[in-house]
Structures are given as structure tokens and as C-alpha cells.
Structure 1
Amino acid sequence: MEIKPKRQSTSLEIENVIEETTDGDTKLYLENAIKKRQEIFPDSKKETLTEPTLPSHDPKNWPEGKKSIILLIISLASMISPMSSTIFYPAIIAIREYFKTTEFIVNVSISVFIFFTGTAPLFVASFSDTYGNRRHVYLVSLLLFTIPSVICVLVKNIWVLITMRAIQACGSSATQCLGAGVISDIYIPTERGWAYGILYLGFYIGDLGGPIIGGFLAERLGFTWIFWFLAIFGCILLPLIFFFLPETYRHDHANLTQPTAPSQPIMQNFKKFNPLTPIKLLALPNVSLKIFYMSTIWAFMYVQNVIIPIIFYESYQLSYSFIGLTFLAPGIGYLIGSVIGGRYSDYVLNKYKVAHNGFSYPEIRLNSIWFGCVLIPVTFVVFGWTLEYKAHLIFPIISMFLGGFGSLFVSNSTITYLVDSYPELSASAIALSEFVPCIMATIYITITVPLKDAIGVGWLFTILSSINLLSTGLIVLVYFKGKGWREKQQMRALHV
């Protein structure tokens, strides 16, 4: 359990940091630094705490029922970002025909949405982490989502639609990094894997339900009803957030001038609001390598989303509704992978703590991902070549399910690893982990159709799978070197 003292930190708190995060020569080095501090400040008495405790007002001490309601609300809110993205895919053909435009321009509209989905959270996360405000940012973000959804119903020009979708993306995407911040506020590290599993359960219910709803609405009522649906959903979430989501950020975190937790020294470098502040985290190798690896997984997910409506419509002659139903395969895989991956991640961490007298460190959580790291490239290669040779529909469907399962089995643990490593910068870390993959996904989506036409869908997914498999080495590097990197970061921040 984290130690959150009610006063200015002394050498005692620094010793607690050392016990949790260092060993060997690094530990000895910091212990000597504490002795020097005591010589300079003789009034600083050494104290003994028999049991680490959290202040009674800390949100981590809120009743389990209250925390469960909060988790349910932020999980529901997390549905709007993937839903507003995937609900669009089954209607691609209908939108192209309605606006009398090209396949490339429609893909540009998807790329723009993905770009702002990754960019907007940088501003939101930096503001939220700097000023300690989750609730009000939630409300503003939902307004930015709901109002453009209504305008999208009325537009007659594809470029106005693209503009409104960009604003819609800014509002919807904020819910993911804010949800990560809330979980970091109210749950201790050994509970976060499970909590993230529930958060991403909501996320991927939205991802799963979006294409089904979009296909049905596009075929039966017209694609404009997609945006009516999103606007209604936003109007439901607004009062839920307003009346039932309290502020979860503990503001005395921001007032501490000395380190009290492994991430606290790092946080001192992120005091002022700056929309680009989360990008500074890329200077930390354990963050940047992990995010680059995750970008190769997101490539599969977004390229697959663009490929499915085109090939299933042209090669398998499926209707809009049936195209939407095919998204059930990866969606169910996401759901199962998220829950099982989160549970297994917590199990691996707790097992290590039991075997080591309560001691652990964030990199241990990565021990839970290796199965998924192998499953992902294999299944997407199979997916590409089954489409290339127009195999029976069941084979790409199975591949989509297994690929979705593996993707979330890995993603859940690696995202939780970031939060465990830098809990006070959780929203910024999550925003960054979405920003870089979304920027790369924007490029992937734009070039998907030209590449598919040039080399075929089989070779397209073979290339993506090869990149993903090679990048697995980056996660292996984080596993073996991440602990040492974080200790050096803490020493530099402590100025000892």
C-alpha cells in the first residue's frame, strides 16, 4: 500500500521510497545520502512506522460500494470514444454514396477522427494532472462530444462532417485518460489491474456495440441516425457525471514538496500546465519503448477496421447489418482479453509479492503478457491471407477474435504498468499511450487502401505482423531494464 503522509516528508519517507523501489548499490547510495542529510539537519529525527497507512480522507479509503459506482460510471463514459469511431465503419459505403465522394476521402474522415482522438487527450490529461480536476473536465468533454453529434445530422458537405467529427473526437477521447486518472486516484496498485479490466470492458463494449448499431441504423433508418444515437448517449452521460461522480483527485498530492511515492520525484518536473507536458514522458525509455510497441498493435486494429467493410462488402457481398455483425468477433475478443488480462496481471503481481515478503516493482506485471505477444502477429497474418484467398468467412472471423483477445490481453497489462510506474501522472501517461499510436494509425488508415491495391491484403498484414514481432524485443528490454531506469530517474529528481 502506498504511504501518503500528512506532513512535509523527512528522511523516513525517503527510506520508505528506497525500500519499495531500490536494492543493492543504489539502496546503499541513497542510505548514505540520508545520513548526510541528517548530519546537515540534526533536528530531523528518525521515526519508526509500524504500519503504513493512508489518510482517512484519501479516495482510496472510500467505501467499496462508492468506488464501484464510480468505476461503473467511468466505464460507461469510456464507451463513447470507441463507439463513435466504430459505429461509423459499417456506414462507409452509404456515406460515400450520399456525399458523392471517393473511398480515399471517406478514409480521410476516419484518419482525422483518429488523429484528434490521439491529440486531444494531451491537453485534457495535462490540465487534469496539473490542476487535479477530473469531474469538471469530464463534463466539458461530454459537451464537446454531444453538440457536434447533433450538427453531424444536419450537414450536407463532407468537409463540414469531417470538421464536426474532429470536434466530436476531442470530446469523446478525453474520457479514457480521465478514467485512468480516476482509477489511479481511488485504487491501490494491486487492485488496478482488475479496475482497468472493468474500465476497458466498457471501452470494448462500445467498440463491440458500435458497428452493430451503426450497421443496423445505416440499413434501416439511414446513416444520419448514427449521430442522433451518439447525441442521445451523450445526453444520458452528462447528468450521470454531474450528479454521481465526485472529484477523486487528492489535492494535497500537489502540495507536497518532497517525494512520498516512487513517482513523486518525477512529478516535480511536471508542475505547470502545458498541453505538451505528457510528451516529456517520452524521454523516459520505459515509457517510449512500451508506447512504440503498443503502436504496432494499434496498427492491426485500425487497419482491420478499415479493411472489413470494404472486403466484406466487395468479396463476400454482405449487407451493412451483417458487416456490423462481423465486428462482434474482434469485439468479443477485446472484452474477454481485457478482463482475463487484467485478472491475470494482478495475479502475477500478487504471486510475486507473496513470494518476496510483500516486495514488488511494476515490471513484474509484464510477466503476464508473453503469451499474447506471440498470439497477436500469428493471428493477424492468418487474417490477412484468409482474406487474400477469399477463404470461408469463418476463418477470418476466428482470426479476428483471437487477434482481439491477444491485443487486449497485452494492452491491459502494459497500460497498468505505466500507471503503476507513474501513478501521479496517470492521466498524462494514458494520454501519451493513445497519442503516439493514434498518430501512427492516422498514417496507416490513409495508406491502407493504396497499399492493399498495390501488394494485396495478405502481404499488408504480413508486413505489419513482422514489425510487431520485432518490436516485442522492446518490451523484453523494458522488463529487464525498466527498474534500473526508474531508479536513475528518481535519483536525478531527488538531487542526492
Structure 2
Amino acid sequence: MPRFVNGQSAGGPSDNAPEDANIVDFDGPNDPENPINWSPGKKAAAITIVSLMTLLSPIGSTISTAATPEILSHFSSSNELLGTLVTTIWLLGYVFGPMAIAPLSEMYGRAALYKICMVLFIVFNVACALSPSLESLIVFRFLAGLAGSCPVTLGTGSIADMIPRERRAGAMASYVIGSVLGPSIGPICSGYLTPVAGWRWSFWLMAIASAPLAVIVMALVHESYPYVILQRKAARLRKETGNPKLRSALDTGKTPRELFAFSIWRPLRMLSLPIVFLLSLYAAVVYSYLYLCLTTFGRVFGGQYGFASGPSGLATLGLGIGNVLGVVTGGLTSDRLSALLTQRNGGETKPEYRLPTMVVGGICVPIGLFWYGWTAENQAHWIVPIIGTGFLGVGMIVTYMASTMYLVDAYTAYAASVTASSTILRCLCGALLPLVGDAMYDALGIGWGTSLLGFISVAFLPVPFFFYFYGERIRKAKRFQVAI
């Protein structure tokens, strides 16, 4: 029977131990039940559905941005911090959601979590649209973010279930574009919808757009997690054969309660690993710049250039176009560069071969920040700072893609947990930094305030170099295995 390496079938028998007749595994390397052997059409459909869910959720995260002044006015509040919190509280849902979603998916499968969270996502967006107070709106936004964190947490794991490592970058690019392009789309939608229909329709729009996708998810999403597939196969065979000793090849021997108690802390334990922590922190810093820009564009383009809410929303197109260029760049180069480095280094594929593209992204981030900050400070033509945000968009997504693919390749068996680790840190920074954005710009101005962020991103430039040369040694060190 085949055995598993990093959560995927190695396609061959164990070299050291005789086969146990009570072990239930996939039926050879070509078993159609193994997601790695699904047809190209079935894989494409699964990845498309997950990518669409991952697009909708980040759109929801910023759908309130352009509507914030009307929301505050409707509830008779002048507290700008609360106005920013209406947007960023969503990301706190992204922080806490993965802590439960990741371990539950490793126990009960990814498909069940996708379906449940999709329904809850619609329910809580409807609740936002009907909110009777600012406080209830903030609470429902948090709960919507909690449900919306599901595809962000599990998407990379689903791709790792189906796509071999050497062909993973293209699939990852289609998935990642949703998570980074979505935040740029939200302000555009609300910027034009709010003046016409009112702020509540921003949330009705999210619920209406999510409903057809929920039907598709219910009908077409199939389980892809090998652990759960084999658990179900073993249960089916126990019932058919009457043999209670049959067990999955991936069975850990833990009860569901023990497994949940162990798994719920795994994302936080994995953050204690130097590689996971530093790469997640790097991605978190860059990601938080996105939300800082989105929550302060009204100040910059409304105050400096006199844009109304609609055109201020369109100012996010610079970030969006940069994101698309970053996805194309990362998707086209990552697999090819990894294959080239593998060939030059004796034919052994290593996760570290994903990191060179991060250097390019890391350079684009400070270029974009300095460009955007100082051209906006000196009130150059409005297109000039928007071009600067395009560089930021390229750098952000290339950095995010490279770090995500590296972590998934390095910890494939725990893809959901390592993604949750990265998501927790990334979204915590994304939620908190925008809260101090206005105070920072009041104290330093747009030029020096944005430059401060640029200098921080420059300090992270050595990170991919360090892990390219020393990452394998650190990953394999015994003292860093206890966390997982």
C-alpha cells in the first residue's frame, strides 16, 4: 500500500515494515479517490470555487470603507477611530476564525467548513445591513469576518491536496489574486453605491453576491483532505466487512476531542518556529500597509485632491492593477525558477527555491511607499501617487505569494495550520495598524509617515536571503520540530 510523505501519497510501499492488513490507504498511486489524481476539470472547478470565495471575503472586508462617513453620520457619531474599526474589525475575525477553522477542518474536512461558513457569511452580512446601532454593526462585521476567514485559511491547503508541488504556483496565483485584489474592489463598490442607495446596500450587495456562490459550494465542493477521505473510507469498510480493527493509514490514534485540543493550538505553536514567525511577520507588515492605504485614501485623495467618495474608491485601482501584475509575475516565474534551481542543485526540490521572487517583491514595496508618500505630500498630479501604489501592489502580492508557497511546501502535512498561523499574524497587523494611521499622518505628514513604513520594509529585505541559505538547516533541526 502507498504511504504518505508530507500529507501526499508517495506512491510506493514502506521500505521498513510489512503491510498491515488492517490499514486502509489509497488503492495505489492512481486511485481516483486521491485528490492528487482528480481530473483536470474537477481540480479546476474546485480551485475556481475556492478562489471566488476568497475574492468575496476580502471585498467584504473593505466594502464599508467609502461608506464610513455616512455610517457615522447615520448613527450620530464623530469618532473616527470607531469609523476605522468598522472596517478593520473584520480582520480581527480573520485572526480568531482560523484558530477554530483550521483544527476543525483537520478533523472533519475542508468541504464541511466551506459550506457552513458560506451560509454564516451570508447571514452575518444580512445582519450588518439590518444593524440598529453602530455597536451592533461592529459586532456583526466581526462575525462576518470570522465566517469569511474560512477560504482564506483553508484555500492553500485545498490546493496542496490537489496540485503537486512542482505545478503549484499557477494554481496558487489564481487563489491568491482574490485575497489581495478583493480589498481594492470593496471601496470602489461602496464608493459609488453608497451615495445612490445608502450605506446599508453595501452589505446587502455582499449578501446578494454570496447567495449564488453558496448554492454552487453546496452542490459542487467535494472533500479533498486525504486524512478525512481515508477516515471515511475506513469507516465505510468497517461497516461493510464487520472488521472493527480497520483504521486509516493516517490515523493518529487520538480521539476527536484529543485531536481538537492538540490541533487548536498548533497554529500558535507553529508561530514559535523561526521560519514561520519571520516570514509571517514580513507578510503581515506588507499586508497591513494595504489596509492602511485603503483606510486613508479618503484623507489623501479627498483632502489633498478633492475627490468625492466614488473617485476616491477608484484610487484603489493602482493597488489592484499592481496586484494583478504581481500575480502574473509570481505565477509565471515561481515554478520555473524553482525547477531551474532544482536542476542546478542536483535535482532535489526544496521549498527554499520559492524565496528568490520574494526579493523582487521586497524591493518593490519600499519603492512604492516612498513614491506614493512624497508625491502625495507635494500634491503631484493624482495619477503619480496612484502609480506609486501600483509598485506597492506588485511588491505586496509577490511577497505574499512567495512566503505562502514556501510555508505550504515546507509544511504540506499541516498546510491549514501553517496558513492559519500566517493569517493570524497578518490580519492582526492589518486590523491594528490602520487604527493609528490618521494619528501617524497628523504627527508626521503623508510624506514622512509613509516613509517610516518604507524604512520598516527595508529592514525586512535580508529575510529571504537568510532563509534561502539557512532555511533547510533550521527546518530540520530537532528543537524546532516540537511545535508541530
Question: Taking structure 2 as the reference length, what is the TM-score of the superposition?
Answer: 0.86
Contact 1:125 1:428 in 2 (8 A): yes
Alpha-carbon deviations, 1:41-75, whole Å to 9, x = none? 9x99xxxxxxx946443111111111011111111
Which of 344, 351, 371 is equivalent to 1:355?
344
- Cα distance between partner residues in 2 of 1:491 and 1:394: 48
Superposition deviation, residue 305 in structure 1: 1.0
Contact 2:36 2:164 in 1 (8 A): yes
Aligned to 2:144: 168
Q: Secondary structure at the match of 1:456?
A: helix
Matches within 5 A, 1:378-389: 378-389=367-378
Matches within 5 A, 1:221-370: 221-251=197-227, 255-256=248-249, 272-370=261-359
Contact 1:92 1:309 in 2 (8 A): no
- Cα distance between partner residues in 2 of 1:492 and 1:402: 37
Matches within 5 A, 1:386-397: 386-397=375-386
**Aligned partner letter, 2:16:** S
Q: 1:431 to 1:195 in 2, by over 3 A?
A: same
Superposition deviation, residue 148 in structure 1: 1.4
Superposition deviation, residue 435 in structure 1: 0.8
Alpha-carbon deviations, 1:15-52, whole Å to 9, x = none? xxxxxxxxxxxxxxxxxxxxxxxxxx9x99xxxxxxx9
- Cα distance between partner residues in 2 of 1:339 and 1:171: 29
Superposition deviation, residue 420 in structure 1: 0.3
Superposition deviation, residue 107 in structure 1: 1.2
Contact 1:8 1:256 in 2 (8 A): no
**Aligned partner letter, 2:306:** Q
**Aligned partner letter, 1:113:** W
- Cα distance between partner residues in 2 of 1:92 and 1:163: 16
- Cα distance between partner residues in 2 of 1:384 and 1:437: 23
Q: 1:62 to 1:346 in 2, by over 3 A?
A: same
Aligned to 2:391: 402
Unpaired runs of at least 5, structure 2: 21-27, 232-247, 253-257
Identical aligned pairs, as a percentage?
27
Q: 1:142 to 1:273 in 2, by over 3 A?
A: farther
Q: Secondary structure at the match of 2:66?
A: helix
**Aligned partner letter, 1:4:** S
Contact 1:132 1:250 in 2 (8 A): no
Q: 1:289 to 1:314 in 2, by over 3 A?
A: same
Q: Answer with 150-159 or 72-81: which moved more.
A: 150-159
Matches within 5 A, 1:53-452: 53=29, 55-101=31-77, 102-129=79-106, 131-251=107-227, 255-256=248-249, 272-452=261-441
Contact 2:98 2:153 in 1 (8 A): yes
Alpha-carbon deviations, 1:275-310, whole Å to 9, x = none? 332111112211111111112212311111111022
Superposition deviation, residue 182 in structure 1: 0.8
Alpha-carbon deviations, 1:303-324, whole Å to 9, x = none? 1111102221222111111111
Alpha-carbon deviations, 1:222-262, whole Å to 9, x = none? 11110111111221121111111111111267744699xxx
Q: Secondary structure at the match of 2:225?
A: coil
- Cα distance between partner residues in 2 of 1:490 and 1:344: 34
Q: Answer with 198-207 or 209-218: which moved more.
A: 198-207
Contact 1:112 1:442 in 2 (8 A): yes
- Cα distance between partner residues in 2 of 1:402 and 1:478: 24
- Cα distance between partner residues in 2 of 1:57 and 1:178: 20
Contact 1:9 1:258 in 2 (8 A): no
Superposition deviation, residue 406 in structure 1: 1.4
- Cα distance between partner residues in 2 of 1:193 and 1:311: 36
Superposition deviation, residue 104 in structure 1: 1.7
Count residues in correspondence: 447
Q: Secondary structure at the match of 2:460?
A: helix
**Aligned partner letter, 1:314:** G
- Cα distance between partner residues in 1 of 2:416 and 2:190: 30
Q: Secondary structure at the match of 1:337?
A: helix
Contact 1:380 1:465 in 2 (8 A): yes
- Cα distance between partner residues in 2 of 1:222 and 1:258: 53
Q: Secondary structure at the match of 1:317?
A: coil
Q: Answer with 441-450 or 350-359: which moved more.
A: 350-359
Alpha-carbon deviations, 1:156-212, whole Å to 9, x = none? 311111011010100112111121111011111011111110101233443332222
